Structure 1
Amino acid sequence: MRMSGNTIFIPGATSGIGRALAERFHEAGNTVIVGGRRRQLLDEIAAAHPGIDTVEIDMADPASIVAASAQVIARHPDLNVVIAMAGIMRVEDWTHPESFLSSAEQIVTTNVLGPIRLIGAVIEHLRTRADATIVTVSSGLAFVPLRSTPSYNASKAAIHMLSESLRLQLADTSVRVVELEPPAVATDLMPGQRHSRIAMPLDHFVDEVMSILAAEPDVTEVQVERVKFLRHAETRGDYSEVVARLNATDPHA
């Protein structure tokens, strides 16, 4: 993926990692379109960063995904990069079905069906571009489970395998698939995470991501150093120890 001259659509970029990436890519000389549910936040981003375009999109709503994607393509026919950033994470207790079923369904709808529907809405257009990229967003928790967030872990494992599979299917096209695998990052994804001592500072995370993309234009998995502890646990042979260490730090356990 080249670092400038792209037209990049990032749903779920009104805060956290998505917004930070949107700002960095904009500064690097890309046309950036930020998507989100809340018009006020979109307007604030557009005012703070002239040149960033915005579109309302709800990644839990199939019709919204189709309509927003069509708007973006119509306004920006050079669209060649889509970053499927939107996601939710919640604590669940699976010993009490009444407490987790609704949460689990919402997580799967947003974290799994959202990216699937988004890719479905843009793939035909991306295949017309000479140099296109789909960026999926999984997590270190796709590879090692956090006890308190079963549905989130599973949703990100699904995104990892979706990314692997799409990369195979699109190998003979102009569309590349890049998987971003964050560790815990200091954002508002979970209550208290922004101030967690184990969360990676957001600026440091985005600095490292941009450095990896610049240094390795053909990278398929973007792994900052801090996530490798989780990502490669099974390969190293210390999976059980990593599971224990990760869950010993879980504030929700």
Structure 2
Amino acid sequence: MNLLRSALHMAFMFVTVIPYTVAILVVRLFGAKGAMRYTIAQKWLKLSVDSARVIIGIRYQVHGQGNLPVGETSPAILLVKHQSTYETFLMPAIMPHPLAYVFKKELLYVPFFGWSIGSLDMIHIDRSQRAKAFAKVVEQGKALLARGVWVIMFPEGTRIPRGERGSYKSGGTRLAIATGAPVIPVAVTSAKCWPRKAFIKHPGVVDVSIGKPIPSEGREADELMCEVETWIEAEMHRLDPEAYVGQR
């Protein structure tokens, strides 16, 4: 039954992404601002999350929403635990500010999905040119944060299997220090229902825990990332203890 439901949800996303992508490209052609294009994309992402709940039975609950900064232009850099595709859909659906993902440029070539994100105010980088790529992240990040767009990054860089810890990179904290924005650590237990690189999904509850803002002024990037990592991993152990049996 889970196989059938997963296939149905995948088909639903594939069919619905086409008209939403066309809508984004059309409004861009007519000069629509980034906010309108983002709103269209956000609606599809929320539709994908809602359809996962209806078709598969994947629900979510958010803890710590009150920790998010208030104010239309209050800056924030979200550093999120990455276990599956689910959180890439979920974060824009639940956050009060538009989000700008930092992602590798290869995703731009994915039909429809890549065309959509390429038409949004996101930050795509060439990982082979590290210094140049980071300079671009800082330049675009400052401009986006000034407009009230929050930057979101996955410090582990890739999806990590349930119960495991990836290597946390300091790019997100370096950006925070360069822009003066606080970092917001976020723990997500998505792999309980939507495992990494798995076609078959399972019903259940995904917990999203939002930590308190951590100021970046006067901090060192590695030391700040160590604090973020410590909080996220401790929170993952608390939210999903079954995944960490036998681990400290």
The answer, yes or no, to whether TM exceeds 0.5 is no
TM-score with structure 1 length normalisation? 0.42
How does the TM-score come out when normalised to structure 2? 0.42
